[in-house]
A and B are shown apart, each in its own frame.
Chain A
Amino acid sequence: GQQLNQSPQSMFIQEGEDVSMNCTSSSIFNTWLWYKQDPGEGPVLLIALYKAGELTSNGRLTAQFGITRKDSFLNISASIPSDVGIYFCAGQAWGGGADGLTFGKGTHLIIQP
């Protein structure tokens, strides 16, 4: 099935560093969402974006809905150990039919002590 192009695939950073990851698509989406998944758990919604150009923050997390509606990025400032996990972007198109989310392959965030 289709998956979004998410990069980087993995990131090795020091605690306190800022993190940036992005997601691109060949298709237009009406919604972009960012999820975090810890081992043995389901994805947890971090941020939802509904309008092209929208910039939304949730604590140390900031995400933007690209102007072209084909991309989005997520920034994490001043990373802490509990930020470790897999981050997924997801796009949603609304055409009156299926509302299924299309996911990226994920970015593994690893924080080195």
Chain B
Amino acid sequence: DAGVTQSPTHLIKTRGQQVTLRCSPISGHKSVSWYQQVLGQGPQFIFQYYEKEERGRGNFPDRFSARQFPNYSSELNVNALLLGDSALYLCASSLGLGLQPQHFGDGTRLSIL
């Protein structure tokens, strides 16, 4: 069975640009969460979506937005990129809300020049 898939695997952008990252959850999983992992740190929670609605948001600026589609896939958008946005962006899926274990994809490595 396919796990969580993310695209692209790597991306290079310049300051001020906008970026869209994509995630397909494990088949049957209805919840998708996004995390940012900077080098040497653990992942930081950005968003959780369930049934196409935002159900949770971490401490990130409004430049970060996301959406979930009817097939439960998701996109993360980041506007007005800053150098500090350089990180590994991880997507995780779970069956639903509540205390369901989250399973991660291999992430998108975003580099800002």
User: Given that A31-B99, A48-B101, A105-B42 are known contacts, is A43 also in contact with B33, CB under 8 Å in the complex?
Assistant: no
Which stretch in B12-20, B52-60, B65-73, B79-87 binds the other chain? B52-60
> Within 8 Å CB of A105, what residues of B?
40-42
| Cβ of B51 under 8 Å from chain A | no
Q: Among B31, B42, B99, which residue has the most Cβ atoms of chain A within 10 A?
A: B42
CA distance A1 to B107 in the complex (A): 20
CA distance A44 to B42 in the complex (A): 13
> Within 8 Å CB of A3, what residues of B?
41-42, 44
> Within 8 Å CB of A40, what residues of B?
106
User: Given that A3-B42, A43-B43, A105-B41 are known contacts, is A94 also in contact with B106, CB under 8 Å in the complex?
Assistant: no
> Within 8 Å CB of A6, what residues of B?
42
The answer to whether B106 and A1 have CB atoms under 8 Å apart is no
The answer to whether B42 and A98 have CB atoms under 8 Å apart is no
The answer to whether A106 and B42 have CB atoms under 8 Å apart is yes
Those of A15-60 within 8 Å (CB) of chain B: 30-31, 33, 35, 40-45, 48, 50
Nearest chain B CB to A31 CB, angstrom units? 5
Closest residue of chain A to B91 (Cβ to Cβ) is: A42
A-B contact pairs, 29 of them (CB 8 A): A1-B59, A31-B101, A33-B101, A33-B102, A35-B104, A41-B106, A41-B107, A42-B4, A42-B106, A42-B107, A43-B90, A45-B102, A48-B101, A50-B99, A88-B43, A97-B55, A98-B48, A99-B31, A99-B56, A99-B94, A99-B98, A99-B99, A100-B33, A101-B33, A101-B43, A101-B92, A103-B42, A103-B43, A106-B42
Residues on A lying within 8 angstroms of B by beta carbon are 1, 3-4, 6, 30-31, 33, 35, 40-45, 48, 50, 88, 90, 92, 94, 97-106
Residues on B lying within 8 angstroms of A by beta carbon are 4, 31, 33, 35, 40-45, 48, 55-59, 90, 92, 94, 97-107
